[in-house]
Amino acid sequence: MIKINYFLLLLIFTISFSVKADLRPVYLSLEISAPKTKFTTTELVQLNVTLTNGDFESHSILIPGNQSKGLKLIYFSWYKVDEKNFYTEVHRDSRVISMDTSVKGYVSFNRLEPKKSITIPFFFNDTKNARRHLNSSYEIPKLPVGKYKIIAWYYPWDEELSKYAFNKYDWKGQDLNPDKNPEFLDLSESGTQSTYFDVEIVNEKTQVSKEIYTKTCPKHCKFCHAIDHNQWGKVERIIRRQSSSRSRFKIKGKNFGNWYKKHRQVANYGPYPDAVLASLPSYTGIEIIFKNQKGYHYFYLSWQIGKIKPISSRLNGLLFGMFNISSPFKSSKHRYYVLKKMKQW
C-alpha cells in the first residue's frame, strides 16, 4: 500500500510539472480598485482598472480610448461565494457597445514602459454620459444585497489592431503565429483577467471614506472649489496659468502645475500622448474627467507647442534670398507651451 501511494504521488507530481511546463508568463496584468466598495445598485460608482506591463521591455497595448461601436475590450463578471467557498458567476457584462455612433471613436494604443501602468476609470450607472462615452456605458447589475467578487476581463482579439500589439498563443502555450514579433507582448487567445475584487451591494447609499487633504489639494483647494461649482471658466484659467511656458511649475520637463496632481474633484487624467509632431507649431492634448455633485464631466484640453515668429521668418527668407546669408534672428520659439482650448464633450 505504501508503494502504491508513493507511485501515485510521483505520478501526480509528474503530471503537474508537465502542465506547468506549458504555462506562459503573463506580462500584462490587471488590477481593480475603487474609491468605495459599498454601494447600491442605482448610485454612481467608479471602478478603476490598472493595466501593468510586467515585462522588462517597453510595449504598446490597446486601450478602449473613445471606442463607440463593436465589442468592449474590458468587461466585468460578478461572482457570489457560498459558505463552502464555491464561486458562482451571477452576472457578466454584455460586450456589445450600444452608443451614439454619430461621433466616430476608436480604440487606441498606449506605450507602457517596463513595470509601468495605466489606470482606466469606469463609471457605472452614469446614464447622462452613457451614450457618448464608453467609460460610462456600464451598469451595476440588479443583484440582491450582499457581498460579491468582481473580475475584469481584457479581450482585444476582436480588434483588427490587436495584431499590431500582441502575439497570440493557444491554451497549450503554443504560438499561433510562427512569425511572432519580439516587440509585441505575448497574450493568450482567451485574453487575460484581473484577480478578484471584493464589493458589497447595500440598501442605503454609504458615504465615501473621509476625504484626505494634501499639500497639493488642501481643504480649501481653489481648483476643486471651481470644479464643485461648475465654474469651468475659472478651471480653464487655473490650468492655462499653471501650464503655460511662463509657469514656474514643471513635471518631467513638461510645463504642468499643481492642477495635474491628484485632486479630490478629478476622477481621471487621461494618458499623455506618446509623441507629437516635430514641426512647429505642434499640438497635443489630454482628456480629463471632473466629478462633483452633478456627476462626471468629460473635457478635452489642447495645447500649442512651439511658435513661428512671422516677422523674423520673413527677414530670414529675404536675407537668404538676397545675400545668401543666414539671419541671426530666430524664426521660431521652441519653448512655447500654452493651453489653447478646454472643451466639454
| C-alpha cell at position 324 | 545668401
Confidence bin at 323 (pLDDT 50/70/90): low
For the chain, the structural domain boundaries read 24-201, 222-344
Decide if pLDDT at 127 tops 90: yes
Indicate the pLDDT class of residue 305, thresholds 50, 70 and 90: confident
- pLDDT band for position 308 (cuts 50, 70, 90): low
Give the rounded distance of the alpha carbon of 174 from its chain centre: 30
Q: Does residue 156 have a cis bond before it (omega within 30 degrees)? A: no
Average pLDDT over residues 33-62: 95
pTM (2 decimals)? 0.82
| CATH, domain 24-201, list 3.10.20.30, 3.40.50.2300, 2.60.40.2360, 1.20.120.330 | 2.60.40.2360
pLDDT exceeding 90 applies to what percent of the chain?
A: 57
Residue 65 CA, distance from chain mean position: 8
Which is higher by pLDDT, 327 or 175?
175
C-alpha cell at 123: 463609471
Residue 22 has pLDDT above 70, yes or no: no
Over range 306-320, report the average pLDDT.
63
Taking residues 247-269, what's their average pLDDT?
Answer: 71
- 62 with 162: CB under 8 angstroms? yes
Return the higher-pLDDT residue of 110 and 212: 110
Query: pLDDT at residue 258 above 70?
Result: yes
Which cell is 242 given?
499653471
Among 62-76, 148-162, 193-207, 254-268, the least confident range: 254-268
Q: What pLDDT score does 337 carry?
A: 75
Distant-in-sequence, close-in-space partners of 242: CB < 8 Å, separation ≥ 6: 249, 256, 257, 258, 259, 260
Lowest mean pLDDT of 48-52, 195-199, 248-252, 298-302, name the range: 248-252
- Residue 163 pLDDT: 93
Residue 249 pLDDT exceeds 60: no
Separation of alpha carbons 237 and 223, rounded Å: 10
Checking if the pLDDT of 23 tops 80, the result is no
Cell of 274: 506618446
Neighbours of 257 (CB within 10 A): 19
243 exposure class (CB count in 10 Å sphere: 0-12, 13-18, 19+):
buried
> What local confidence, expressed as pLDDT, does residue 319 receive?
59
Average pLDDT score, the chain: 84
d(CA 316, CA 323): 10
The pLDDT of residue 306 is: 75
Most confident residue range from 213-217, 222-226, 243-247: 222-226
In the prediction, which pLDDT does 260 show?
85
Report the alpha-carbon distance of residue 189 to residue 179 in Å, rounded: 16
Q: Which of the residue ranges 205-219, 249-263, 303-317 has the most confident prediction, judged by mean pLDDT? A: 205-219
Please write down the long-range contacts of 277-280, taking CB distance under 8 Å and 24 or more positions apart. Answer: 280/305, 280/306, 280/307, 280/308, 280/332, 280/334
pLDDT at residue 101 in the model: 75
**Nearest Cα to Cα of residue 34 among 23, 44, 21:** 44
Pick the residue with more confidence: 315 or 268? 268
Q: What pLDDT does 345 receive?
A: 85
Kindly report, residue by residue over 140-193, the tens digit of the pLDDT.
999 999 999 999 999 999 999 999 999 999 988 899 888 889 899 999 999 999
- Using CA atoms, how far apart are residues 64 and 130, in angstroms rounded to an integer? 14
pLDDT tier, 274 (very low <50, low <70, confident <90, very high otherwise) = low
C-beta atoms surrounding 71 within 10 Å: 15
Q: Which amino acid is at 99?
A: M
Spell out the SS3 assignment of the chain.
CHHHHHHHHHHHHHHHHHHHHCCCCCCEEEEEECCCCEECCCCCEEEEEEEEECCCCCEEEEECCCCCCCECCEEEEEEEECCCCCEEEEEECCCECCCCCCCCCCCEEEEECCCCEEEEEEEECCCCCCCCCHHHCECCCCCCCEEEEEEEEECCCCCHHHHHCEEEECCCCCECCCCCCCCCEEEECCCEECCCEEEEECCCCCCCCCCCCCCCCCCCCHHHHHHHCCCHHHHHHHHHHHHCCCCCCCECCECCCHHHCCCCCEEEECCCCCCCCCCCCEEEEEEEEEEECCEEEEEEEEEEEEEECHHHHHHHHHHHHHHCCCCCCCCEEEEEEEEEEEEEC
* 321: confidence class by pLDDT, cuts 50, 70, 90: low
Asked if residue 327 lies in contact with residue 315, where contact means CB atoms within 8 angstroms, the answer is: yes
List all residues 6 or more positions away from 23 whose beta carbon is below 8 Å from its beta carbon.
173
